[in-house]
Amino acid sequence: MISPRQDFNLKNHRAENRMYLQRATIAFFIVITLTFIIFCRVGYLQIIQHEKYSLLSRHNQIRAVPISPIRGVIYDRNGVILSKNTPGFNLTITPEQAGKLPELLAKLQNIISLSSEDIDNFYLRKKQTRAFHAIPLKHHLIEEEVAKLSLNLHLLPGADISASLNRYYPYHEAFAHVIGYVGRINESELKKINPKNYQATHFIGKVGIEKKYESDLHGKVGFLNIEVDSKGRKIRVLSQDNPVGGKNLHLTLDGRLQVFAHQLMSTHRGAVVALNPKTGEVLAMVSTPSFDPNLFVHGIPHAIYQELAQSKAKPLYNRVLRGQYPPASTIKPLYALAGLEQGFITPHTKIFDPGFFTLPNQNRQYRDWVRKGHGTVDLKKAITESCDVYFYTLANKMGIDRQSAWLDQFGYGHLTDLDLIGESAGINPSKTWKQNARKQIWFPGETISNGIGQGYLVATPIQMATSIAILANRGIRVQAHLLKKAADKPALHTEVVKLTHPENWDLIINGMAGVISDPKGTAYKSFKGVTYPIAGKTGTAQLIKIKQNEKYTENKLATHLRDHHLFVAFSPIDTPEIALAIVLENENGHTLIARKILDYYYLLKTGTIPVDQLAPPSEEIKTDAPV
């Protein structure tokens, strides 16, 4: 046993020295190897990759600042500006230069008024914007705000006041539904556009012409190449690639007629469409009530938007494109033409109207709008006086599928392809349509209602205008459009209705002329004394069912349940220049409005009203005779 007191020296100095030398040698070779690798890498970067990294280095010093293109101006057919750009000032922030954003925003809120929506929109755009790009916080600063900010900019790092061009609509409500408006680009829109071309643009067309022709109006972004320091501050301008402004658009609208029609309709709910049947040019397109598009340009306050969106009058609703109304008796001339062409009636076919019609083996009476009836009625009288029983009888002979196929040729149930977005197709019913849409069979009584433009049949005002234009053109359809075309690119003309007996056109149009000129015509009182030739047709669309022995009493019904009143017309008769469609919701007075619009149109033709006089009071317009 070894005594614990014994002291042994267990170290082997020779072995330790050998191990140290081995480790030092390995470490030396590792260092040499790593140094060699580093030198190789440096040589590779400095010599072989010199050009690449030299360029990247310069990019660290040079920044491309996008320059927004000037948006195109929109004019009417006479060169009057309908949508333009006005100078203004915006408050912008470059986050990378701002330090602590919440602190900066708090300082700004103490200087000018900033809403929670302003701040929310700023943070949203921050996510969508590249580094070192200025982001707008508030648009359209007033003079007082510009002054306050200018005095405090030295205390607000990253904040700046920038000049810009803001969209402005000088005629406010009058053109809102056709011109539309621009608004801030949202996330869904950002995914659809070219992000590079919109780097300096914060607005995009939302509805109307502004949206339809966005690519033309926007233009091409430019770039300013600047040298910056390590903190991103501009040192000097190196070069500039100028933006390309958007195209200016000239529309077919006559601003004078548009504003005048809007004034007439401003206290009503409804729509007016006027177009040239020969060219397809839309002369006026009014939907009322309307709204001021300027409210939307810089972000409409939530409370105001809710008020517009929830209004029972639906001011945001484009009735011309989307309003679906029973065409009522305005459809009768088309059915009369079908009856002649298909041999169900002749010009001399007569029926006796006792005030009602009954289907064979049925007791239900389909009443005429004249309770005692029209007596003995032929084709001309049926159109002029709008005899329901005559067209009940014709509809029963034709059947629903023939009616549907005939209206199909005049565009019912189809989009007109007007150059605006959001159009509805309406409904041109048939047996197949009802089976597919309602999973029900078609009933004979529905054919009778369809024969006077009621029941399932609905159409938009633009469809009614284009269909009456086809009638005015004797079967030729001209594509309706709002963008004025070059002389060498006329609108497309297509023969959509070809008659075996072309003289039938004149028979129908003669009956429509009687609506205006015959003392018993349904529009005679409003057009009494008119000096220009016009063919027209009135219509009354019933919204509620009236029982067999019940009388329609308008003043006992809630306003929204009262009849719609419609009117279609064209003039002159032989060489039509204007086709008109009017819908007045839940009230009468449609023919009186039509008379004033047509009188004003003919007054414009004389050249007595300057092209830039867009707002003459309606009471100053003289007509050929009292209305």
pLDDT bin (cut points 50, 70, 90) of residue 584 is very high
Number of C-beta neighbours around residue 158 at 10 A = 18
- Per mean pLDDT, which range of 195-209, 216-230, 295-309 is the poorest? 216-230
Residue 284 and residue 169 share a domain: no
**What local confidence, expressed as pLDDT, does residue 615 receive?**
55
Examine the domain organization and report whether 393 and 246 are in the same domain.
no
CA 358/CA 364 separation, integer angstroms? 6
Cα pseudo-dihedral 315, 319, 321, 325, rounded to 10: 150
**Given 250, 283, 298, which residue is the final one in a domain?**
250
As given in the structure block, the two tokens for residue 36 are: 């060699």
Per the CB < 8 A criterion, the answer to whether 390 and 409 are in contact is no
Q: What is the CATH number of the domain that holds 156?
A: 3.90.1310.10
Q: Determine the pLDDT at residue 429.
A: 98
Q: What is the pLDDT of residue 618?
A: 38
Same structural domain, 153 and 275:
no
What was the pLDDT predicted at 147? 87
Q: What span, in angstroms and rounded, lies between the C-alpha atoms of 554 and 563? A: 8
Dist. CA 121–CA 115, nearest whole Å: 10
Report the pLDDT averaged over residues 284-292. Answer: 97
Residue 221: domain span: 64-94+105-250
In a domain, 79, yes or no: yes
pLDDT of residue 624: 35
Whether residue 34 lies inside any domain: the answer is no
Which token pair is 224?
A: 């300013």
118-167: pLDDT as tens digits: 788 788 777 766 666 777 888 778 888 888 888 888 888 888 887 778 89
**Structure confidence at residue 50 (pLDDT):** 65
Taking a C-beta distance cutoff of 8 angstroms, is the pair 98, 159 a contact? yes
Among 8-22, 84-98, 142-156, 396-410, which stretch is predicted with the lowest mean pLDDT?
Answer: 8-22
Band of the pLDDT at 22, cuts 50, 70, 90? confident
Q: How many whole angstroms from its chain centre is CA 367?
A: 40
Residue 515 lies inside a defined structural domain of this protein: yes
pLDDT for 104: 84
Report percent pLDDT > 90 for the chain: 59
Please tell me which residue, 214 or 60, carries the higher pLDDT value. Answer: 214
In a shared domain, residues 319 and 356 = yes
The total number of structural domains in the chain stands at 2
Residue 24 domain-assigned (yes or no): no
Pairing between β-strand 578-584 and β-strand 270-275 as defined by DSSP bridges? antiparallel
Provide the 3-class DSSP secondary structure of residue 156. Answer: coil
Phi and psi torsions of 465, nearest 5° = -65, -45
* Site of tokens 């070069």: 239
- Domain assignment of residue 45, yes or no: no
| H or E element that contains 82 | strand 81-93
- At 463 the pLDDT is 98
Cβ pair 284, 596 in contact under 8 A: no
Please check whether residues 242 and 302 belong to one and the same domain: no
Give pTM, 2 decimals: 0.83
Residue 163: in which H helix or E strand, if any? strand 159-168
Average pLDDT over residues 168-181: 96
Between residues 565 and 123, the one the model is more confident about: 565
Q: Is the pLDDT of residue 557 over 80?
A: yes
Domain identity same for 273 and 193: no
Task: Note whether 493 and 370 are same-domain residues.
Answer: yes
Query: Which pair of structure tokens corresponds to residue 258?
Result: 């548009």
Number of Cβ within a 10 Å radius of residue 425: 16
Q: What percent of the chain is modeled with pLDDT above 70?
A: 90
Phi first, then psi, for residue 207 (nearest 5°) are: -145, 170
Q: Report the catalytic residues.
A: 329
Instruction: Give the tens place of pLDDT for each residue, 458-503.
Output: 999 999 999 999 999 999 999 999 999 876 677 788 999 999 999 9
Domain annotation covers residue 50: no
Q: Which of 229, 250, 271 is the last residue of a domain?
A: 250
Identify which of 206, 250, 449 has the alpha carbon closest to the alpha carbon of residue 331. Answer: 449
Q: What is the spatial distance between Cα 359 and Cα 224, in angstroms, rounded to a whole number?
A: 78
Q: Which bin fits 311, alpha (ψ -120 to 50), beta or left (φ > 0)?
A: beta
Residues 6 or more apart whose Cβ sits within 8 Å of residue 396: 359, 444, 447, 448, 451
One domain for residues 232 and 351 = no
Q: Which residue has the higher pLDDT, 410 or 41?
A: 410
Residue 19: inside a domain, yes or no?
A: no
Average pLDDT, rounded, for the chain: 88
Between 559 and 182, name the one with better pLDDT: 182
Cβ-count burial of 408 within 10 angstroms (0-12 exposed, 13-18 middle, 19+ buried)?
middle
**CATH number (domain holding residue 445):** 3.40.710.10
d(CA 248, CA 200): 20
* Cα gap 522→333, rounded to integer Å: 14
Are 441 and 519 in the same domain?
yes
What DSSP designation does 48 have? Answer: I
- CA distance to 191, 343, 404, 427, 453, per residue, from 408 (Å): 38, 19, 6, 10, 14
Nearest CA to 590 among 557, 568, 616?
568
Which residue would you say has higher pLDDT here, 110 or 481?
A: 481
In terms of pLDDT, which residue wins out, 292 or 191? 292
Query: Is a pLDDT exceeding 80 seen at residue 236?
Result: no
| CB distance 239 to 225 below 8 Å | yes
How many Å separate Cα 593 from the centre of its chain? Answer: 25
Which range is least confidently modeled, 22-31, 47-56, 561-570? 47-56
Q: Distance between CA 446 and CA 14 in Å, rounded?
A: 117
Which pair of structure tokens corresponds to residue 46? 């400095």
Sort 243 into a burial class: Cβ within 10 Å, 0-12 / 13-18 / 19+.
buried
Last residue in a domain, options 198, 227, 250: 250
Q: Is the pLDDT of residue 1 over 50?
A: no
**The pLDDT of residue 291 is above 80:** yes
- For the segment 240-264, the average pLDDT, to the nearest whole number, is 94
Per-position DSSP letters for 586-608, written without gaps between them: TS--HHHHHHHHHHHHHHHHTT-
One domain for residues 239 and 260: no
